[in-house]
A and B are shown apart, each in its own frame.
Chain A
Amino acid sequence: MTDAIAVSGLVKTFGSTRALNGLDLTVRAGEVHGFLGPNGAGKTTTIRILLGLLRSDGGTASLLGGDPWRDTAALHRRLAYVPGDVTLWPNLTGGEIIDLLGRLRGGLDPKRRADLLERFELDPRKRGRTYSKGNRQKVALVAALASDVELLLLDEPTSGLDPLMEEVFRQVILADQRDNGRTVLLSSHILAEVEALCDRVTIIRDGQAVETGTLAEMRHLTRTSIQAQLTRPATGLAGLPGVHDLRSHNGHVSFDVDTAELSTVLRQLTEAGVRSLVSQPPTLEELFLRHYGNATAPAAEKTAPDETAQEKVSQ
């Protein structure tokens, strides 16, 4: 299986700001790849380079086996793009814009178009200027999803959609994945969306990929939070590796533990006698917060992300 997108060491600067700082990103053919990061992390810049709208200042990027800057027209026949902030031509109706974009990409499936319009409850006869933000987003989504292409580049596609429509979007992507097996690069900062849809995830911060892998792999790197009522005071818990944010009060302890160290820590707890135990599995959100919680920390911190947390414990 080949990679649909292979980016390595990508650099892009705008004046004095370095939007991308050696970004690596690999999207395998046929997978839904989550591209996570807060606003300004460089998600949109990456996608624009992949679309040949911007020229990179360093590193390499390949898209569907081609060079995004040189082979633009040939590559674009095979992909569809939904921008994060959709602007439409004020005088054209939604239906006209969907057809136009579809035809310019190289074909639209009319049955699918009708089906998507119905599922997203979009009126295609309204003029571009009269659509709300969410409806403009739907126009771009229908145009992309109804197109006959092998790669979808979606830049925060659900921004402006209501929760019901977000759910429709998820179902549509899952069904599309089942039926067509298209490759999707889904940039987002909505973690639930990424958890629901994506096979693999890349988390970026300050123009660099700080984490990449499957969700299962990532969960392994994350922490489980534990709350327990103990019969005896648990001595030695604080000294165990992988225990963070320990708080203890009247035999009640709460802490986070690295998932890899879970069994050692549980053994220690059992020895102290467990009256009750609540454990919460790690969420992507925690992982995310761990990377962005202190966004001002220098980039070197990513090699030892636990240091700050450990300092807190020792205080």
Chain B
Amino acid sequence: MTGTRSLLRLVLRLDRVWLTVWVLVIALTPVATAASYKKTYPTPESLRGVSDVISNASLVALNGPLFRATLGGLTAWKIGITELILVALMSLLTVVRHTRNEEETGRLELLGSGVVGRYAPLTAALLAVCLANVALVVLIALFLVGVGFPAAGSLALGLSIGLTGVLFAGVGALAAQLTQNARSANGIAIAVLGVAYLLRAVGDTGPIWLTWLSPVGWALRMRPYAGERWWAAVLIVALAVLLTAVAYQLVGRRDIDAGLLPQRPGPAVAAPGLRSPFGLAWRLQRGTLLAWVVAMVLSGAVMGGAANGIAHFNASAQVSDLLARLGGRKVLVDSYLAAVFGIIGLVAACYTVQVTLRLRAEEAAGRLEPLLATRVGRIRWAASHLVFALLGTAVLLLVAGLGAGLAYGAQAHDLGHQVPRLLGAAMVQLPAAWVLAGFGVALFGLVPRLAALAWAGLIACAVLLELGVLLGLSHWVVDASPFAHVPKLPGSAFTAMPLVWLTAIAAVLLGAGLVGFRRRGITSG
């Protein structure tokens, strides 16, 4: 354990921005949601209609059951799963980053030759993550008490999130011992999170014992603001301790750089298809694209499936009246679906930005240089990745629309009509996502060192979409987001002109970026 203290300081120094941003986002989400619900549902009566909608099976699968229709209960239900996923990602990524990734890159070897004990790096990483999670518990509880929520429930919500973070730090620690590289370790740990989520989703809508096999299920079953069950916290802590203990055992047994899972040898010669920049891009991108396709089909299907619940909930006479005046249930469903596709468009744009920035990542890592030293031209190389950014995004929107259309259409017994309608609602998002690809390429070509700002563009779009109107921002500011110009389908009238404009803007940005890229020097690092 010698050296843990200095390593902990190093970890905190390296991650001061990374951890701070995670902690702030995770700590502010509940209080922001709570505040907005307080405005939306000023009276207990106004909450009643909501619980009818939420008992819909798709929503229960997505977010878990609503335990009590109070402001606190609703807030916990709305943000619970999102927060658990975020905190798990923060914790496992941070632990792997400071253990297996450091080992893989050889930096740990340099440190390890100093006065640093065998267990010190893992201990330092776990301590840093625990500190972040303690901060989360305190901040979440304090903020929620601050907006007037009951103290016990606020503490239970904070604890359920913080302890889940500690648990997934353990998952990350264990995964880091199994493989030789950080990417696979992250993959294993995220897969564990995915399985935990699925077990709970299936368990909550059917055989409840499945939920009790899932740590995510335990965290939700702490029931914040709904008769807290403190003993569920003990389950989480026990599993976290067990996982961490196993990880320590494995550290004690293995060599540096070694993993427990054997490395499989790959092919000694390249497949015939690996002979062009596109062949290479396909090899590098296909895994990511496939994972995204699966995720988008599922999200589309779940969200589409939930729409039918909105159409058929048992509303009180008052709510039915209100609905009738608004234009009937069909309007409600359409506006729900339009909101869903707005989010799906933004999520697909995450893929767009991720793949666009692959250009810069390849360059910065020094992998572009040997390629450009062959007869591959710059534009041809850039195009091989941009095909994925532009057409890959189209595929994602297509499958999301298809998933939603099939799920909703099947329940509404209206496949022939709903599938094309929702496909259209998904595809109108494409030009807006392309604008972000264009923005990324322009940054890459003209100011490569600032290419990561493309993410800032995406975040700005998300903030404007979610909060723009709420914050009462001027029309000009809200309109800066390409997504503000996408027709709100289904429901509104379709207009082609904004889409033509968005596509043109994307093309101009793309062109400017590629011209800049052709003229500038290649820089690595």
Chain A interfacial positions (CB closer than 8 Å to B): 48, 51-55, 72-74, 76-77, 79-81, 83, 85-93, 95-101, 103-106, 123-127, 129-130, 140, 153
Is B370 located at the chain interface by the 8 A CB criterion? Answer: yes
Given contacts A51-B372, A55-B520, A104-B277, 9 further A-B contacts (CB under 8 A): A76-B372, A76-B376, A81-B373, A85-B366, A90-B181, A93-B266, A97-B270, A100-B270, A125-B265
**A-B CB contact pairs (8 Å), 28 listed:** A51-B369, A53-B369, A53-B372, A55-B521, A72-B377, A73-B376, A76-B373, A76-B374, A79-B373, A83-B370, A88-B367, A89-B283, A89-B284, A89-B367, A93-B266, A95-B267, A95-B270, A96-B266, A99-B269, A99-B275, A100-B274, A100-B279, A100-B280, A101-B371, A104-B376, A125-B265, A125-B266, A140-B370
For residue B263, CB closer than 8 A to chain A, the reply is: yes
Q: How many angstroms from the CA of A77 to the CA of B367 in the assembled complex?
A: 19
Does A104 contact B268, Cβ atoms closer than 8 Å?
Answer: no
- Contacts A100-B270, A104-B374 given; indicate if A54 touches B280 (C-beta within 8 A): no
Contact status A83-B366, CB under 8 Å: yes
B522 within 8 A of A: yes
Complex CA gap A54/B372 in Å reads: 11
- Return chain B residues, CB-CB under 8 Å to A74: 375
Whole-angstrom distance between the Cβ of A3 and the nearest chain B Cβ:
20
Contact B522 A125 (CB under 8 A): no
Rounded to whole Å, the gap between the CB of A121 and the closest CB of chain B is 14
Chain B residues lying within 8 Å of A124, measured Cβ to Cβ, are 268-269
Interface residues of B in 88-136 (CB under 8 A from A): 104
A96 touches B267 (CB 8 A): yes
Interface string of B334-374 (1 = CB under 8 A from A): 00000000000000000000000000000001110111111
Q: Are B369 and A99 in contact (CB under 8 A)?
A: no
Which residues of chain A come closer than 8 Å to B267, judged between CB atoms? 93, 95-96, 125
CB contacts (< 8 Å) of A153 on chain B: these are: 373
B429 sits at the interface (CB 8 A): no
For residue B177, CB closer than 8 A to chain A, the reply is no
The answer to whether residues A105 and B375 also contact, given A53-B522, A85-B366, A91-B283 and a CB cut-off of 8 A, is: yes
Please provide the 8 A-B residue pairs with the shortest distance between their CB atoms, ordered closest to farther: A99-B270, A104-B374, A93-B266, A125-B265, A81-B373, A54-B521, A96-B270, A95-B268
Say how far B186's CB is from chain A's closest CB, in angstroms.
13
Contact B375 A77 (CB under 8 A): yes
Whether B299 is near chain A, meaning CB under 8 Å from some CB there, is no
B183: CB under 8 A from chain A? Answer: yes
**Cβ contact of A101, chosen from B104, B266, B366, B370, cutoff 8 A:** B370
Q: Secondary structure at chain A's binding surface: helix, strand, loop or mixed?
A: mixed
Enumerate chain A residues within 8 angstroms of B268, measured Cβ to Cβ. 93, 95, 124-125
Residues from chain A with a CB closer than 8 A to the CB of B160 are none
Quick one: CB contact mask for B412-455 with A, threshold 8 Å, 1 for yes? 00000000000000000000000000000000000000000000
Q: Chain B contacts of A103 at CB under 8 A?
A: 270, 274-275
Q: Which residues of B contact A123 (CB under 8 A)?
A: 265
Residues 364-405 of B, flagged 1 when their CB comes within 8 A of A and 0 if not, give: 011101111111110000000000000000000000000000
Chain B residues near A85 (CB-CB < 8 A)? 366
Chain A residues within 8 Å of B269, by CB: 95-96, 99, 124
Within 8 A of A (CB), among B9-23: none
Question: Quick one: given A54-B522, A83-B366, are A73 and B266 in contact (CB under 8 Å)?
Answer: no
Instruction: Tell yes or no: B154 within 8 A of A by CB.
Output: no
Nearest chain B CB to A91 CB, angstrom units: 7
| Candidates A86, A89, A126; contact of B265 at CB < 8 Å | A126
A130 touches B180 (CB 8 A): yes
Min distance, Cβ B298 to any Cβ of chain A, angstroms? 25
Q: Which of A79, A91, A100, A106 has the most B CB atoms < 10 Å from its CB?
A: A100
- A127, B371: Cβ atoms closer than 8 Å: no
Closest chain-A Cβ to B492's Cβ sits at a distance in Å of 44
Q: A83 vs B525: C-alpha distance in the bound complex, in angstroms?
A: 14
Bound complex: CA of A97 vs CA of B367, how far in Å? 11
Q: Are B366 and A104 in contact (CB under 8 A)?
A: no
Residues of B215-274 at the interface with A, using a CB-CB cut-off of 8 Å, are 263, 265-271, 274
* Docked CA distance A72–B375 (Å): 7
Cα–Cα, bound, A153→B369 (Å): 13
Residues of chain B within 8 A of A80, CB atoms compared: 373
* Complex contact B370–A106 (CB within 8 A): no
**CB-CB < 8 A to A83: which residues of B?**
366, 369-370, 373
Residues of B281-328 at the interface with A, using a CB-CB cut-off of 8 Å, are 283-284
**B375 A106 Cβ-Cβ under 8 A:** yes
B367 to chain A, nearest CB (A): 5
Taken together as a complex, chains A and B put the C-alpha atoms of A98 and B374 apart, in Å, by 12
From A56, which residue of chain B is reached at the shortest CB distance?
Answer: B521
Q: Closest B residue to A99 by CB, please name it.
A: B270
Determine the chain B residues whose CB is within 8 A of the CB of A86 once the complex forms: 366, 370
Taking a contact as CB atoms under 8 Å apart, the answer to whether B367 and A87 are in contact is: yes
User: Given A96-B269, A99-B269, A126-B266, are A73 and B375 also a contact pair (CB < 8 Å)?
Assistant: yes
- Give the Cβ gap from A142 to chain B, nearest Cβ, in Å: 12
Inter-chain contacts of B275 with A (CB < 8 A): 99-100, 103-104
B contact residues around A53 at 8 Å (CB): 369, 372-373, 521-522
Give every chain A residue within 8 A of B263 (Cβ-Cβ): 126-127, 130
A contact residues around B183 at 8 Å (CB): 90, 129
| A residues near B280, Cβ cutoff 8 Å | 89, 100
- Complex CA gap A73/B366 in Å reads 19
* A75 nearest CB neighbor, chain B only: B375
CB of A96 within 8 A of CB of B274, answer yes
CB distance from A305 to the nearest CB of B (A): 33
> Do A87 and B284 form a contact, CB below 8 Å, given A81-B370, A99-B274, A104-B371?
no
**Cβ < 8 Å to A, chain B residues 174-211:** 180-181, 183
